[in-house]
Amino acid sequence: MRQWCTYEAAVTKAAESGLWDEETSCHVSSCIHCSDVIHAAEWTRSLAVDPGWPPLRDPDVLWIEARLLSAQMKRDRKMRVFALLEGACIAILSACAATLVLIRGEFGGLSSEILRWMSRLANLGPLTVDLISTASASMLLVILLIAVTFLIHPLLLEE
């Protein structure tokens, strides 16, 4: 059996509209292919008839829900940045605290190693020299990190 018929489009259209011209209806009676088209089309179309289902959901509610979801996604994305920032602050503060413990403790070898690394950093340029050599700048950085962490934390908790 061939897989197509030149009348197929006309038959599909006529079956949909119910308007049959003489030529098409004559053809259908002698073409198995087109008779299958009509049968399949009618049966499939009968499935689209609502058999008494509950009414559709309100499009206005869907619209509002989509807006809310979109806003929530934007906020989530921003919150992710804050969470990362908080994580970074905590990590840096932990590193600072660990360094302090090492310097204050009896771990002379390790602390001198760290100091050596810092002096290498200091050699990179005048700005780093100032930052690293000035204790007040380091303190300021630590305070800033603590402040940022304390500011972000309640924000994340609220979310």
Q: Which of 68/155 has CB closer to other proteins?
A: 68
Considering beta carbons, is residue 23 or 58 the nearer one to other proteins? 58
For residue 53, what is the DSSP state? P
Distance in Å, CB of 39 to other proteins, minimum: 5
Give 71 or 143: the residue with its C-beta nearer to other proteins.
71
In the complex, minimum distance from the CB of residue 62 to other proteins, in angstroms, rounded to a whole number: 5
Between CA 15 and CA 21, with CA 16 as vertex, the angle to 5 degrees is 50
* Closest to other proteins by CB, 37 or 89: 37
Count of beta carbons in the 10 Å neighbourhood of residue 62: 11
Rounded Cα distance between 28 and 26, Å, is 6
Contacts with other proteins by CB under 8 A lie at 3-4, 12, 16, 32, 35-37, 39-41, 43-45, 47-51, 53-54, 56-57, 59-60, 62-63, 65-66, 69-70
Q: Nearest 5°: phi and psi at 21? A: -90, 165
CB atoms < 10 A from the CB of 118, how many? Answer: 14
* The pair of three-digit structure tokens given for residue 19, joined into one six-digit string: 């308007």
Instruction: Give the residue from 8, 2, 3, 48 showing the smallest Cα distance to 27.
Output: 8
Least Cβ distance, residue 89 to other proteins (angstroms): 33
Q: Which is nearer to other proteins, 53 or 117 (CB)?
A: 53
Minimum distance of other proteins from residue 74's CB (angstroms): 11
Q: Least distance in Å: CB of 115 to other proteins?
A: 54
Token readout for 63 is: 């619209």
